[in-house]
Structures are given as structure tokens and as C-alpha cells.
Structure 1
């Protein structure tokens, strides 16, 4: 059986589509744990409609609004399945999402199965696109997968990863409270500890982009949380003896992302963006990083970092074009 965990906070506009896609799955051996994180809209009303119809499958937990991390941590205490997946309440699923994940993890006897996804845009401009993982081998071990994440070829999302519960060191994955970037490091650490990880080269999850999502918050806190996650990943990678050139590449890539986001912060008065970066410790990511002989770092990244070091990064609009 699969345990599915969904944290819910004020997603009345989307939760019905999410639940409908779940209860239309071609694989039905699952339990659903929903954590209502203090919703004040009609989310709970819609959830109760589905409880009336699928009472044997749904466990509803209620808490005062504490955030998505605390919601997931609470749900971890109620896991009964052999497999575990966390999904978001504003997304929806391909009908074969669960079936293909569970068949893959069982067939390969792996600890984790990972599928591709499609990004689509709701109330903001953007072009839909699919992300697939064309891994050339049957499976990767934890270190190779961690390395893939540090190359930014694999994201730290939860919702496209099915975990074997017995392979987790604790039941579920622990998430730090109150962070916008709350899944990246826990996923990195968890995958790095696994023995066997398999990939499905199909887009089975539909990831909604919307203006009210925390992904689009332009704030110092988001930058701080991103920086914190980067530092935690780097510390873990060093303990795992991951190639220093790949760690250097990760440092450069993530610092450039931070430098770009700083430009778009709209709740902080920044007089000197360089000084702001230094005072907040972000430049620590690239301290003592040698780029010229590192072939892991792309030519484009090298140019951008040289522009930063020459105090010309923010003067060229194409360099700071938002990702």
C-alpha cells in the first residue's frame, strides 16, 4: 500500500482537481492523509465531500496554521503504507502516476522511484514544458543521485518521488519548520542515503505555477532559506566525498541564482547590492572557488561570475534576467 500525504492551506480553488485526479488513478491500493493546516477558505468543505465518498481511504488531521513542514511532520506519525509519497494540493496527477511508480519500485526492488513531470502556468505568463530523466542505466546509487542533484539535473521536489518506507531511516522525512525552501535539503540527504534509485522517463505529475505560490515570493527570507539549503547540501556533500569540482559548480550555480533573486527583492531597500550580498553571507558560497580549470562549470557561468567579481553583474540586463 502507498501512503499519500497532502498538506492543505487555502487551496479551495485547486484541491478538487487534485483529489479528483487521485481518486481516478489506475492503481487504488493507497491511503490518503490530508493535513488541514488551518485553512480559512472552502478547502475543508471540499475535503469533507471526498471523505463522505471515500471514508475508508482518507485520514483527516487538523492543526492551527503552522506551515507545510509541520503539516508533513504531523502526517508522518500516521503512515501505514509500504511506500510513501508527498504531493501538493494545487497540482494534479496522470491517471497512471501511482501505478507506474509502484510497479517500477517493485520490479527493480529499489528504495526510490522517480518520475518526470510537466510544469504548467495558471495565472502567470510562461510556457509549459516537460521534464524527463533519461538515465542510461537501470538504477543509480545514493551518491550518484546526490551528484545528479548537485549538477542541478535532478530537483529536490517531493511529489515525483516514491519512497520505500522501510528504506527511510525514520518514518517519513523530517522538515524544518518555517522555511520556504523546505524540501531540497531533506530530499538530498534522504536520496544520498539510499542504495538503489530508479527513474521513469515519463511526465506523470502536473506541477502548477501560480503567482501566490511561495516559489514566486520575492523576499529576503526566500533568499535566506535558499542560501541555508545550499549550505546544508554543501556540508553533506563534503562528508560524502563528492567530487570537489562538482561541489564548486554547485556553489557557483546557486550563488548566481541568489545574485539574480537579490535584484528582484521587493521588500528590502537595497542601496548597494554587492554590500548586501556580502553582509548577508551569500558571497561565502564562492569564496576561494577556482573556476578557470574546472570543466564542470560552464563557460556562461564563468562569464557571469567574472562579471560579478568585476562589479558588472547587475549592469548587464540579460545577465540578471529572472529565471
Structure 2
């Protein structure tokens, strides 16, 4: 198979027909043109396939449709493309076709990747309301460093939004890694899985990607069974580290921090917010999980007050969360966070 593009773009498509024209228009207008989009049609019930076929016919060198016979979810759809043998190129992007990039998105991403030789290149993005177009927040534009190589010697990666769609991956780094069929936090699990292969990360402190907040989206809901699946998968990832990487111990502090941020704070808060009567149970469940599987969390060097106090309000807040967990009063954080969000109208992203 001859390769005539440097960037392979994988885009799972499920019931996003009304957004596809916007997505393709912004992709076709890209100021960098050495790319091909592999659209994985995931058994939609709308007109998505008709629109995909239209663009595949119009731009056969830019668009190729891969058919999934049944709906498997985002991660499995991406894996189907990776397993197809069609995805080659030097770099890979995983985009969501209900979002859209700036027209210079690819140009700036690959220019930075080429310049720095980074294994992952990350840009800033905003979140906007699907109905009103209002921008809720801007993320990943205040990175203190433009380039890091000390992956296990800093906590930078733990605070990166794990979403895949604002990241350009070197194909040689991710070609043997898969998302599997986990239905929640698949991007975070994927980041954890590839970390030992990542030698460097570059940042672009500029909004190049626009994420559409849809209230019918799967990502806006979470149930206890989803959380259980997430926790079980983290245990699998930890065992993979133990088996496959001799330097596992050098990653344990970073993994502990990532699990504490996402399981201990983010997931537990979201569960408690959706089921207030079970708040104490969720907190106890999370703490038991941390104690059993990541026993060093309570003394993690990145959650030490002397480290957090140098990192600003967010890190100090995270230290406070650790303290509240240790003294069995994390429920206070949940109440305070609700006050910040619903009374002061400030949404803090962890």
C-alpha cells in the first residue's frame, strides 16, 4: 500500500449527520493537505452514512469510509480503523466529527511536531454550547512549558486533559496500542497505556480545536457500572505496566496522581452529583480502591503540600482533596464544589 499522506485521521461516526458538513468543510479547507480521514461508520440510525459516502465520492484521496456492522462505541470504532491495515502515515489524529478544527489546525500541529520531534503534540481548545454557540471555557492554553521530556519526573502529564482529539500522535508510538471496548474515560485509559512509550510532549498554547457540548452526548452521563468498569480497567493497565515495563516503579507516582485526579476527584464527584443519596458510599468505595490498588496515594510526592503550594490554586485544591479523603471528610469538597459551580457559576476543570 502506497502512503501519500503524513497524517492519518480516524473519526468514529455515530448519529452525527447534522454536524458532518461543518466537520468536512473545515477539514477540506485545511492549510496543510497531506492527510487522509478514515471515517468509521458505527451503525448509526440517522443519515450519517449517506453524507459520508458523498464526501468519499467527492474527495476519494481525502476520505475513506470503514463500515462497522454493529455499534461498539468510540474506542472500539477507533480500534477497528487501527486494525484495518489502512492507517499508516507518520502521525495519527483521533477526531470527533461533531466538533470542528481551525483551518490551520493541521499545519500548526505538524509544524510543531516536526520542529520538536515530539511523540505527542497538544493544542488548546474551547468548549461551546451546541444550541447557542456560547463558549463555556478554554483549556490547555496556559502550559508553562512548550516541550517536556521528563515524563516521569514531573506532574505535567497528569494535569493534561486526556481527550484524544486535540493531540497529534506519532504513529510508531501508538501503532500497537488499542482503546478496547471500555465505554467511559477511554481517552484517559489510552493515555495511561501509551505513556511508557512517550519520550516527549510538545504544547501549543493556542485554541485550534472546538469541542461541541451536546446534552444528548454519552459523555454527559455516568452510572456506577461505568465507574466500576473504569476502575477495573485501571487495574488491567497497572498489571500491563508490571508485565511489560521494567521501569514500572518510575511511573507509579504519576499513575497514582492521575488515578487520584480522575477517580478520586472527578468521577466520584460526578457520581455523587447524579446520586446524592449514595455520596458516602461512592467516597468510601473510591478510598478503598485507592488503598488496595495504589496504596502510595496518601503520601504521593506530587500531592505533598510543599510541592502543591508551588503549583497554584488547582494543585493546592488537590492537596486539600487528599487531606479530606484521609480524614474521611471528602463530602465537604463535594458540597463546596457544588457551591462554586451552581452559585458562583465557575467551573473548575480537573
Global fold match (TM > 0.5):
yes
| TM range, smaller chain | 0.7 to 0.9
Root-mean-square deviation (CA), in Å? 3.2
CA distance in 2, matches of 1:222, 1:125: 30
What TM-score do you get using the length of structure 2 for normalisation? 0.77
**How many angstroms apart in 2 are the aligned matches of 1:56 and 1:120?**
31
1:103 counterpart (98, 111, 120):
111
Shift of 1:111: 2.5
Contact 1:51–1:58, Cα closer than 8 Å, also in 2: yes
Provide closer, same or farther for how the CA distance between residues 221 and 20 of structure 1 changes in structure 2, counting only shifts above 3 A: farther
CA distance in 2: counterparts of 1:169 and 1:47, whole angstroms: 25
Uncovered stretches (5+) of structure 1, i.e. residues with no partner: none
Task: Kindly report which structure 2 residues correspond to 1:97-136, keeping only aligned pairs within 5 A, or say none.
Answer: 97-123=105-131, 127-135=135-143
Aligned residue number for residue 187 of structure 2: 183
Q: Do the aligned partners of 2:95 and 2:164 also contact (CA within 8 Å) in 1?
A: yes
Conserved 8 A contact 1:113-1:161 = yes
Larger RCO: 1 or 2 (CA < 8 Å, sep 6+): 1
User: What is the Cα deviation at residue 131 of structure 1?
Assistant: 2.1
Q: Deviations over 1:61-89 (max 9, x none)?
A: 11121111221111112113222111001
Q: Deviations over 1:188-208 (max 9, x none)?
A: 332441223222221111111
Q: Determine if the alignment matches structure 1 residue 300 to structure 2 residue 308.
A: no
1:283 lines up with 2:288 in the alignment: yes
Unpaired stretches in structure 2, ≥5 consecutive residues = 309-314, 342-346
User: Relative to 1, partners in 2 of residues 1:223 and 1:197: Cα closer, same or farther, differing over 3 Å?
Assistant: same
Q: For the residues of structure 2 that align with 1:192 and 1:295, how far apart are their CA atoms?
A: 27
Q: In the alignment, does 2:239 pair up with 1:222? A: no
Map 1:62-77; keep pairs closer than 5 Å: 62-63=67-68, 64-76=70-82, 77=84
Contact 1:12–1:41 under 8 Å retained in 2? yes
One of 28, 40, 46 as aligned partner of 1:41: 46
**Residue 317 of structure 1: which of 321, 335, 342 is its match?**
335
Q: How does 1:160-179 map to 2 (within 5 A)?
A: 160-168=166-174, 170=176, 173-179=177-183
- Once structures 1 and 2 are overlaid, which stretch shifts more, 184-193 or 309-318? 309-318
Is the counterpart of residue 31 in structure 1 residue 40 in structure 2?
A: no
Aligned to 2:8: 3
Change (3 A) 1:27 1:250: closer
Alpha-carbon separation, structure 2, partners of 1:93 and 1:108: 22
Q: Which residue of 2 aligns with 1:211?
A: 215
Deviates more, 1:294-303 or 1:107-116: 294-303
Instruction: Name the CA shift for 1:100/1:191 in 2 (closer, same or farther; >3 Å).
Output: farther
Q: Distance in 2 between matches of 1:72 and 1:52?
A: 22
Match of 1:61 in 2: 66
Return the structure number with greater helix share.
2
SS of alignment partner, residue 200 of structure 1: strand
Which one is further off, 298-307 or 92-101? 298-307
Q: Residues 250, 75 of structure 1: CA spacing in aligned structure 2 closer, same or farther, 3 A cutoff?
A: closer
Corresponding residue for 2:311?
none
Normalising by structure 1, what TM-score? 0.83
Deviations 1:92-151 (A, max 9, x none): 01000011111222223333322111221224897532223455556322625983222x
